[in-house]
Amino acid sequence: MDHPLRGSAAIVGAGNTRRWNALGRTAFDQLQEAAVLALEDAGLRLRDVDGLFCAVSSSGLPVLNAAERLGIRPHYADGTMVGGSSFLFHLHSAMAALAAGLCEVALIAYGSNQLSAGGKLVSMPDPQPSETPFRPRYPISSYALAAARHMHEFNTTREELAEVALAARAWANRNPDAFARGPLDRDTVLSARMVSSPLTRADCCLVTDGGAALVITRAERARDLRQPPVYVLGTGVGISHRQISAMPDLTRTAAVESGQRAYDMAGLGPDAIDHVMVYDAFTITTILFLEDLGFCAKGEGGRFVASGAIAPGGSLPVNTNGGGLSCNHPGMYGLFTLLECVAQLRGQAGERQVADAEVALAHANGGVLSSQATAILGTAATL
Amino acid sequence: MGRDPRFEGAGPDQAWDAALSQGHVAVQRCRSCRRAQLPFGVLCRACGGVDLASERASGHGIVYSSTTVIDREGAYNVALVDLAEGPRLMTRIEGLPPDLVRIGTPVKAAISEDSTHVLFTPDESA
């Protein structure tokens, strides 16, 4: 029997400012613009929004700031902050709130000016006294420790990690909105400056600005709106730790759990997925999540990406916008995984369009492999 | 109702700091499920029990993972070590060049000179 939430809500509007380097615009400027774009896309107005979901790196009270700037008085709000996956946690909560009748129109919104404001990753104040004395570079050293362990256990190589960056660039070269475009070769990736071994600068996502928003309603309302609805077939979340030293197994993330919950709600498995977006904060994360979500066996991720599977023309289209590695990464990238799924399922992805895409999976990560969230989206044909 | 006596006495950080100031690494052991944990806490993260005791650890461990961080001043090691008692902690392996630290290497604890954190060196006896 179908899960009661399967297909109960749909993404009806999507907004993306595509302003990756916008000097003079604040994080909330980006958020507001994205909200306007998403609502116009849906054919709805700001006053229709009664559920507000947001997270930003630069404010501890994002819902209050966003509501004031949007001029709305929401009666349902969720400012869950679990890092870059927050927006998929928001989608998970919005599904429940919509189904329970606690709101009618949910807006998930995000903005960042981290590139133009200084060019460094902006992190919330969150002291980690048992790690700080050892001066890990945050967050890259945590991911480097996971990559080193993966290489130790499964003989994954730096050359295989490089394939993730090369595939992302190949997709970005088909996306006119991507920030990093142009040729990229294996030697350039492998000879990039080492930051925290085994990860180099080329294994790291971009630092950009950006703004993104989604509008979600119950399915019956979605059918009357302007865009083809993108139905939410399943969502799942998981949390395993805060600090990398508290992660039980550095090669196995809570994506195993979030993914299984999303698959269970959707009544689908990895074989049914036409298009995949996984949060590529670092090259290793693409490999970890492809394994943990069941697209290849644990430990086989390096060989899988080296086979060409995830690049244009491969068997599994992954991170088709160019990902955090080559499209954009404003600090908390999660919402952009959903935006690209929406573009693909609507058939609006231009040169990078995945043919006959009916089911897409978005997966996002937060903290240092700490929070994981998975969403499975589908066209009307999948209901 | 007064304060719950089970939580009286030194707090978790004080118990950890006390062990460091005495020159040894400690773990916190649950008297209910017998699991050892780090960092010290108010409750046992394995079973939820609240009857916990500070216990001197052997100081022996194995490198679980390792990275060399490179910055303007040079390169240094950041590692995760699994103690023989079970818990894992972040640390720095000293006594060899950072890029020669290998996963699986036996290591032995050494308290930092200022008694604020635990470092490790290769365990030649292992």
Query: Tens digit of pLDDT per residue, chain A (383 long)?
Result: 799 999 999 999 999 999 999 999 999 999 999 999 999 999 999 999 999 999 999 899 999 999 999 999 999 999 999 999 999 999 999 999 999 999 999 999 999 999 999 876 666 778 899 999 999 999 999 999 999 999 999 999 999 999 999 999 999 999 999 999 999 999 999 999 999 999 999 999 999 999 999 999 999 999 999 999 999 999 999 999 999 999 999 999 999 999 999 999 999 999 999 999 999 999 999 999 999 999 999 999 999 999 999 999 999 999 999 999 999 999 999 999 999 999 999 999 999 999 999 999 999 999 999 999 999 999 999 99
CA dist., res. B23 & res. B89, Å (int): 17
Of A311, A271, A315, A309, the C-alpha closest to A293 is: A271
pLDDT band at B126 (very low <50, low <70, confident <90, very high): confident
Q: With 0-12 CB in 10 A as exposed, 13-18 as middle and 19+ as buried, what is A52?
A: buried
And the tokens for A31? 């958020």
DSSP state of B47: T
What's the gap in Å between the CA of A120 and the closest CA on chain B? Answer: 15
Distance from CA of B65 to the nearest CA of A (A): 6
Across B25-54, average pLDDT = 97
Closest residue on chain A to B38 (Cα): A246
**A139-198 residues touching B, CB cutoff 8 A:** 141, 144-146, 148-149, 152, 193-198
Our CA-based measurement puts residue B66 at a distance from the nearest CA of chain A, in whole angstroms, of 6
Please give the single-letter amino acid code of residue A288.
Answer: L
Euclidean distance between CA atoms A9 and B61, whole angstroms: 51
Least Cα separation, residue A28 to chain B (angstroms) = 33
Q: Can you give the pLDDT at residue A125?
A: 79
DSSP structural state of residue A134: G
User: Is B39's CB within 8 Å of A130's CB?
Assistant: yes
* A135·B99 Cβ contact <8 A: no
- Alpha-carbon distances, residue A75 vs A51, A90, A104, A182, A336 (angstroms): 6, 15, 10, 46, 26
Q: Is the pLDDT of residue B44 over 80?
A: yes
Chain B residues within 8 A of A130 when measuring between CB atoms = 38-39, 89-90
Q: What is the DSSP letter of A137?
A: P
Task: Round to whole Å and give the CA distance between A9 and A106.
Answer: 10
Chain A contacts of B39, Cβ < 8 Å?
Answer: 130
DSSP H stretches of helix in B1-126: 12-21
d(CA A290, nearest CA chain B) in Å: 22
* pTM score of the predicted model: 0.97
pLDDT band at residue B125 under the 50/70/90 scheme:
confident
Q: Chain B residue closest to A149 (CA)?
A: B65
Can you tell me which residue has the tokens 């928003």?
A: A213
Chain A hits for B103, Cβ within 8 Å = 148-149, 152
Indicate which of A120, A145, A239, A241 best probes the interface with B, i.e. most B CBs within 10 Å of its own CB.
Answer: A145
Q: Which amino acid is at A322?
A: G
- Considering chain B, what percentage of its residues have pLDDT values greater than 70? 100
Token pair in block for residue A197? 């071994």
Whether chain B has a CB inside 8 Å of the CB on A369: the answer is: no
d(CA A297, CA A283): 17
In this structure, what token pair is assigned to residue B118?
């635990």
What is the structure's pLDDT at A72? 98
Question: A372, A369, A373: which is closest to A142 by C-alpha?
Answer: A369
Which residues from A are below 8 Å from B68, CB to CB?
A: 194, 196-197
